[in-house]
Structure 1
Amino acid sequence: MLKEERREGVGDSVMLRGLKVIAVAIRTEPRVFTASVLASALYGTMTVGSSWALGWATEHAVLPAFREGRVEGGAVAAAALFIVGVAVLKALGVMGRRILAGITQYRMQAHSRRDVTRQYLRLPLAWHHRHPTGRLLSIAHSDVEAAWAPLAPLPMALGVILMLVTAAVAIVVADPVLAVVGFLIFPAIALLNLDYQRRLSPLAMRAQQLRAEVSEVAHESFDGALVIKTLGLEEAETARFRERAAELRDANIAVGRIRGLFDPLLEALPTLGVLAVLLVGSIRLESGGLQAGELVQVAYLFTLLAFPIRALGWVLAELPRSVAGWSRMRDVLDATGSMEYGTARLAGRGPARVEIEHVSYGYEPGAPVLKDVCFRVEPGRTVAIVGPTGSGKSTLTQLLVRLIDPDGGAIRIDGIDLRELAKGELSAAAALVPQQAFLFDDTVRGNITLGLPIPDDEVWAALRLAQADEFVAALPGGLDTRVRERGATLSGGQRQRIALARALVRRPRLLILDDATSSVDPQVEQRILHGLREGTPDSTVIVVAYRMATIALADEVVYLEQGKVVAQGTHEELLAGCPGYRDLVTAYAREEAERAAFGRGTDLESTGEEAMA
């Protein structure tokens, strides 16, 4: 829907671009929008009709009462019914206009948020790496709201244009001379509006940009709360946020100043027109060229002109923010780099065969993280990926589950290139457990099943394999215990084991562990890995590992350095024949021995588990 709209030309004025954005909404919700405009037109017509009612009541009820010294009941009743009927229709127009305008605006916001969210999910992880999360959240919230902000006052503005035309015709019919006098204000209003837009547009667009920047800083602060607290950087982070917030405040104040200057002027001009009409009208009334009822009607109609002008001003004031929000939203909807899927299916059962052929990948052009990586994993085997920091191990795990696509080469499962698989095939066959385990603000059961209809006995079986059944059983509600946002009530090792159980309960044919037991003490880790070898015969396991005891359990080791496969073989073979591998794993072993000697390596999470128990 919205994705099909073309980006506005760079040379277009803000007003023209804003009108194009509004046109998108009209094409998307034509019925509701048309109904809201008709309701507004009813309101505008009845507002003018109230002047006719007042003029008729003045001529047929008020003035006869002064002349004759008595009031006729029929005339008063007719005047009252006329005025009340017009007021009822006017109220219905107000209700219909506001309700339907709100429906149009909120529907367009919903359409846009769904489109933006679908695009976020469709775009590959490589695209997300290049865009801050705070900015993406700001686009889905603040920019979407700004893009459709003009829809709230728009039906009223369009409806009161009819009111403006109707009032102008009624003024001309009542007295052409007074019409000429009053209409002299319109050129002045047009010039004032043009100057208003010229001054307001850059300020409003800057304010919208700063809203996104404030959101980015806030989101980054929330995500980095642990670092900020532990390093005592609260004041520095507060100052960083204060600086952006102050810029946004100043930008909003600048917008407010412009509005504060021009809004009174826009309202004052029609008032000056009314004064001119009353002055000339009183002269014509004395000369007999005008009836008192006609003067009342014309004067009242000119007082109504201020409202249509204000309504148009509200729409024009929202257009710069709308254009800024729309432009940022289109940047997302027009983004390229989506993952294309094929039609191939994985027909095999049991452990998967994995082939990595000449794979290269870089997050930035000219800076490859992986270079011509080649190795093969036979079905049912356990392979450890080992390498120093920055050698590309985590990048390789993301490629294996196709979070990103390689720049060169191919990755195959059961002989099929991952890019040829139908959507959902790989996620049904492979599971990745990352080092940073993410848990939702949900129950333990909800975090493991993620909405799938998985029986509790299978959930408990997965928890036993992950060595998590004991601490989960000790929680106050067992599987029904809520773990709060990001699993805040659990220790790091407990979160990792819940994440491992989440993967195991799906019985993947390919299980990838990216240092997924780093927060678990060595004894528990050994039980987990032994359990995986015994309890997952239908899985091929690829594990990013550091501890020598973990690596020794693998059937084969692939050693990476600077994005290349340097050596491949058993743990013993690499210890004997690869100096870099030997230095790395023995260094980890020495570190663990030293920690154990100082009494810090025995149980890294005992305190957390005891507290939860």
Structure 2
Amino acid sequence: MFELIRAYWPEYRHYRGKLLLAFIAMTMVAGSSAAIAWMIKPLLDEILVHKNEAMLYVLPVYIVLAYLVKGVGAYVQLYTMGFVGQDIVRKVRDRLLNHLLHLDLAFFHRHHSGELISRVTGDIGRIQNAVSNSMATVIRETMTAVALIGVVIYQSPALAFISLVVIPAAYVPVNLISRRLRRVSHTTQARNAELTASLSEMFSNVEAIKAYHTETFEANRFAQVNQSCLDISMKSVRIGGLVVPVMELFSSFTGAAVIAVGGMQVIDGSMTVGAFFSFMTALFMAVDPIRRLSQTYTQFQDAVAAHERIHAMMTLDPEVRGGERELQDVSSIDFDNASLAYGDKTALREVSLEVRKGEVIALVGGSGGGKSSIASLLLRFFDATAGLVSVNGQDIRAYSLTSVRARIAIVTQRVHIFNDSIAANVAYGAVLDEERVIAALRKANLWEHVASLPEGIHTQLNEAGTNLSGGQRQRIAIARALFRNPSVLILDEATSALDNQSEAAVMDTIRAIAPEIIIIVIAHRLKSVELADRIYLIQDGQVICQGKQAELLRDCVHFRELYQ
């Protein structure tokens, strides 16, 4: 628990005014609780025993005022600490997401999207209650318990000694329960992440589920994961549920001892009935905050487990790091015996190629040959494990990641459409300039369709662009790349979903902009690479042959096989 408090304590310094207000409110709650317990003595001794009529009219007013102060304090503390806790969680969530987005692509290949969603939402949510309500509960209930114990000591130091010896002994079993609960919480959060991952994968592939009629299969698979979550959650409930019975057992020992000793003192006259009942009221009122502290301590273990999972993510560093130089333009790209390996798998072996501004090169070959890996090295999704990739004669690692990716645009076969307007999708991440958006749509041969829509470029697109055809989605992606006015344009199977007419229009656009930039075309269909100045045949991660199409048809048997 204290580890979690230390981790988030620096955040609280930004809310000094609100924390001071919350502390005052907690003092009101603690003080009024103690006052209510103390007023039992004059109620019994002065009003019921000594028949003090004046006290009869005064004491009820004080009781009402005490409860009013307690209620106002509780409300102010709850609202103030709720705001502080939720705002801290908002900042932590922002930092976590920002950190994750700046990690390498390899990190996202290793972790399921559902797991990451669970970290950003589920784990953060578990911390939220701890840094707001639970933190306030610890402070408020500690103050309340101290105030009530003060009344206990004031009424009878001897009986207080008996109470304060027995109650702390409950810490031992409560601490053992909390440690066990913390371990179970790790497993619970991991199971919840699996549940989120299962849902994420299912909804992403709903078309395949429908097409293969596997609704029942997926529902049964989800039910197994869901049952696993239930089992571990119930284990957590079983362990956490022991706290209250344990505390009440120890409280009963305390109550029994106090009644036995205090009763004898009342009988022999060394203690008044009012003082005894005031003592008992304060003692049993003090048991409640102590019990709530024990429950909060166990609840903290769930938050601590979530914090450890978040901290594990926050301490990860990207393996691909940018340099100090800023890339303004790209005049040349060179691969010098560049190799790339993903773990035990070798994607590229000593690849050498070159391209200059104004040139169009094509990378062709079978699936899995390594063509897209070349694009990944250019975008610095990964770094070459051997050899060198140069831009403008400089190691590409000397340039900042931001400037490299700002100058290189890629259109892949897998199109990413966001739940936003057509204009926002085209200008994605940049200032929305409607004239540039329309110009990009014209170049992508999509403007005629967009112009016919009632809302034009402001038409809202569904998630994943489900209200567009496959070809239209691909042309949105092409328009997005052209909108950026890149120095390098990579088309990775970018025209595979287009009809012949649209593909021809896009190719005309490529011919028009080719003299100003570098264009790299990755394709299976050789019709898409006819305009290339140079073609590289990639097979098993190696450049098998290179040259113009006529030369390769004449000299390269592998290219002829592919062509045929």
The answer (yes or no) to whether the contact 1:58–1:293 under 8 Å persists in 2 is yes
Tell me which residue corresponds to 2:7: 24
From 132, 139, 143, the counterpart of 1:162: 143
Structure 1 segments of 4 or more deviating over 6 A?
A: none
Structure 1, residues 35-80: CA drift from partner, whole Å, max 9, x if none?
5455334322321121123333444444443xx7xx33xx344323
Q: Which digits, 9 at most, give the CA deviation of each residue in 1:178-236, with x for residues without a partner?
A: 32443453154223313422543333332122111212222222222222222222222
Aligned positions of 1:439-450 closer than 5 A: 439-450=417-428
Q: Is the 8 A contact 2:182 2:305 kept in 1?
A: no
Return the match for 1:354 from 326, 333, 351.
Answer: 333
Shifted more, 488-497 versus 21-30: the winner is: 21-30
Cα distance in structure 1, aligned partners of 2:87 and 2:320: 29
2:76 aligned with 1:107: no
- Note closer, same or farther for the CA distance 1:33–1:418 as it changes in structure 2 (3 Å cut): farther
Match of 1:369 among 343, 347, 361: 347
Residue correspondence of structure 1 range 271-310 to structure 2 within 5 A: 271=252, 273-274=254-255, 276-310=257-291
Does 1:467 find its partner at 2:445? Answer: yes
Which secondary structure state, in structure 2, belongs to the residue aligned with residue 112 of structure 1? Answer: helix
Which residue, out of 242, 245, 254, partners 2:226?
A: 245
Partner of 1:137: 117
**Is structure 2 residue 152 aligned with structure 1 residue 171?**
yes
* Preserved CA contact (<8 Å) 2:358 2:518: yes
- How do residues 47-196 of structure 1 correspond to structure 2 at under 5 angstroms? 47-65=33-51, 71-72=53-54, 75-151=55-131, 152-183=133-164, 185-196=166-177
Relative to structure 1, is the Cα distance of residues 34 and 142 closer, same or farther in structure 2, using a 3 angstrom cutoff?
farther
Report if aligned partners of 1:346, 1:414 keep a CA contact under 8 Å in 2: no
Q: In 2, are the aligned partners of 1:352 and 1:510 still within 8 Å (CA)?
A: no
**C-alpha spacing 1:130/1:536, structure 2 compared with 1 (3 Å):** same
1:275 shift after superposition? 5.2
Deviation of 1:238 (Å):
1.7
Q: How far apart, CA to CA, are the structure 2 residues paired with 1:201 and 1:147?
A: 13
Whether the aligned pair in 2 keeps the contact of 1:459 and 1:505 (CA below 8 Å) is: yes
**Deviation of 1:515 (Å):** 0.5
**How many angstroms apart in 2 are the aligned matches of 1:254 and 1:49?**
41
TM-score (norm 2): 0.93
Partners of 2:556 and 2:24 in 1: CA distance: 80
| Structure 2: distance between partners of 1:479 and 1:251 | 50
CA change 1:430–1:200 in 2 (3 A) is: closer
State the 1:440 CA deviation. 0.4
- The residue identity in structure 2 corresponding to 1:42 is M
Show structure 2 runs of 5+ residues with no match: none
CA contact (8 A) 2:340 2:349 kept: yes
TM-score scaled by structure 1?
Answer: 0.86
CA displacement at 1:474 relative to structure 2: 2.5
For the 8 Å contact 2:167–2:254, the answer to whether it is kept is no
1-structure distance, mates of 2:137, 2:513 = 67
- Which amino acid is the alignment partner of residue 226 of structure 2? A
Q: Do 1:270 and 1:302's aligned partners in 2 also have CA atoms closer than 8 Å?
A: no
Distance in 2 (CA, whole Å) between partners of 1:33 and 1:245 is 40
Paired residues in the alignment total: 560
Distance 1:329 1:161 in 2: 29
Q: CA deviation at 1:414?
A: 2.4
Residues 1:455 and 1:201: Cα distance change in structure 2 (over 3 Å)? closer
CA distance in 2, matches of 1:342, 1:406: 15
In 1, the alpha carbon distance for the partners of 2:473 and 2:48 equals 82
Structure 1 regions of 5+ residues with no counterpart? 1-17, 587-613
| 1:123-153 CA distance string (max 9 Å, x none) | 1112222221111111111122224543322
State how 1:218-233 maps to structure 2 within 5 Å.
218-233=199-214
Alpha-carbon distance between aligned partners in 1 of 2:83 and 2:249, rounded to the nearest angstrom? 33
Residue of structure 1 in register with 2:521 after alignment: 543
Letter in 2 for 1:45: G
1:170 is displaced (CA, Å) by 2.1
Asked if the contact 1:41/1:158 (under 8 Å) is kept, the reply is: no
Could you list the per-position Cα deviations for residues 578-610 of structure 1 after superposition, in whole angstroms to 9, with x for gaps in the alignment?
111121232xxxxxxxxxxxxxxxxxxxxxxxx
> Do the aligned partners of 1:171 and 1:179 also contact (CA within 8 Å) in 2?
yes
Mapped contact 2:360–2:514 kept (Cα < 8 A): no
Deviation per residue, 1:432-451 (Å, 9 max, x gap): 11111101001111111125
